[in-house]
Amino acid sequence: MNPLLDRLQPYPFERLRQLFAGVTPNAAYSPISLGIGEPKHPTPPFIKQALIDGLDSLAGYPATAGDLKLRTAFTDWLQKRYGLALDPATQVLPVNGSREALFALAQTVVDGSRTPRPIVVSPNPFYQIYEGAALLAGADVWYAPSDPARNFAVDWDSVPAEVWQRTQLVYVCSPGNPTGAVMPLEEWRKLFALSDAHGFVIASDECYSEIYFRDEPPLGGLEAAAKLGRDFRRLIALTSLSKRSNVPGLRSGFVAGDAGIVKRFLLYRTYHGSAMSGSVAAASIAAWGDETHVVDNREQYRRKFATVTPILAPVLDVRLPDASFYLWAGVPAAWKGDDAAFARALYAQYNVTVLPGSYLAREAQGSNPGRGRVRMALVADTAECAEAARRIAEFATRAPSA
């Protein structure tokens, strides 16, 4: 067996199941889960129809690189969304959702044979696939903490020079999971300069880019490079349709950026067997080519957050994020930072599931930056989320021993 598997930690949802083991929730309340970031809005009918219309393609093996029509759908969207002109033949690739691509990219770019062991820098808190991808590529992980004073932006300045010298890959998540923070242009400038100095690759996870609450859409990594007069050297952006188009089961996304990395990534994926089926490709082309459903989806989230946030703000440390569909809430002081105990008691007394923030972070540099916070995924309809918020607000006013 691969000994690197022993370095993996349990996934947050497994830890949540263990936390709730033996708890019988209050039967007076119907169950509401805000724990998993799985989109619940209906899938647009035209995407379903495109999937059905593409079923004849099941008779043949799909190409790992996808066909030119699919890749052009990606570059057309990048042009409309960010004003970028990428070559569909060399600078984009289809992937089976951003999660598998985030994992596979590390296997492509990290040289685990190096001594001392290479480093992958991850935000903290973070999407756990970053950690697993790094460890199974033979790297160590350095956790860069988020800064509450800057709406939980990553504190890149906290990373020591000796860490940067060993770094081969940096994961950026903007808009962030779980905090919703968007990385501004000056932070990108700083990270690009570090990449130039040390030669590491930047993987920009942008799967929440189309769910935002202000007039200005979130800045993307490729867009930031263009604004700064740079090419896409050592930069790969990853995105998917799951959140944008409410198709998490489609497992469809793409990567874009440095043509040299894309070429090597394609080689890896050819052996990995990660081709997108023709029916999924047909549905993807339809989805990337339409913005009307994306605007409607965004408006649903805006209405939902406008309803829920005022209910919670008087009793929890919570504010509207820059983007994404999460609320990153601080638990009341009476809980003394014990986010797991807060989540367990909330489930037992009010049958509402939230995810402890400490499960989404690691103890590093003397602290766990997720401690004392919980993540709420506002993915259900507005009425259900509002009901959950009312229960949480009532619960938060009670003493922990109640």
Model confidence at 175, pLDDT cuts 50, 70, 90, reads very high
Confidence of residue 29 (pLDDT cuts 50, 70, 90): very high
pLDDT band at 8 (very low <50, low <70, confident <90, very high): very high
Q: What percent of the chain has pLDDT over 90?
A: 95
With 70 as the cut, is the pLDDT of residue 325 above it? yes
**pLDDT score recorded for residue 202:** 98
Give the pLDDT band of residue 153 (cuts 50, 70, 90).
confident
DSSP state for residue 317 in the 8-state scheme: B
Report CA-CA distances (Å) from 201 to 52, 119, 130, 251, 326.
Answer: 38, 11, 14, 24, 28
Q: What pLDDT score was predicted for residue 147?
A: 87
CATH topology of domain 45-290: Aspartate Aminotransferase; domain 2 (3.40.640)
Band of residue 399 on the pLDDT scale cut at 50, 70, 90: confident
Residue 42 burial by Cβ neighbours in a 10 Å radius (0-12, 13-18, 19+): exposed
Locate tokens 């894309």: which residue? 262
Are the C-beta atoms of residues 198 and 163 closer than 8 Å to each other? no
Strand partners, 201: 169
- The pLDDT tens digits of the residues spanning 90-114 come to 999 999 999 999 999 999 999 988 8
Please report which helix (H) or strand (E) contains residue 140, including its range.
strand 140-147
Strands 326-330 and 119-124 come out as: unpaired
- Fold topology of 3-42+293-396: Aspartate Aminotransferase, domain 1 (3.90.1150)
Q: Looking at the predicted structure, is the pLDDT value of residue 402 above 60?
A: no
Cα 170 to Cα 99: distance, rounded to the nearest angstrom:
16
Rounded mean pLDDT, 40-54? 97
* pLDDT value of position 114: 84
Residue 35 DSSP SS3: coil
Domain ranges in the chain? 3-42+293-396, 45-290
Local structure of residue 114 (DSSP, 8 states): -
Phi first, then psi, for residue 193 (nearest 5°) are: -65, -40
**HSE (side-chain half, CA atoms, 13 Å) at 377:** 21
Query: Cα separation of 303 and 282, whole Å?
Result: 31
Q: Is the pTM of this model over 0.85?
A: yes
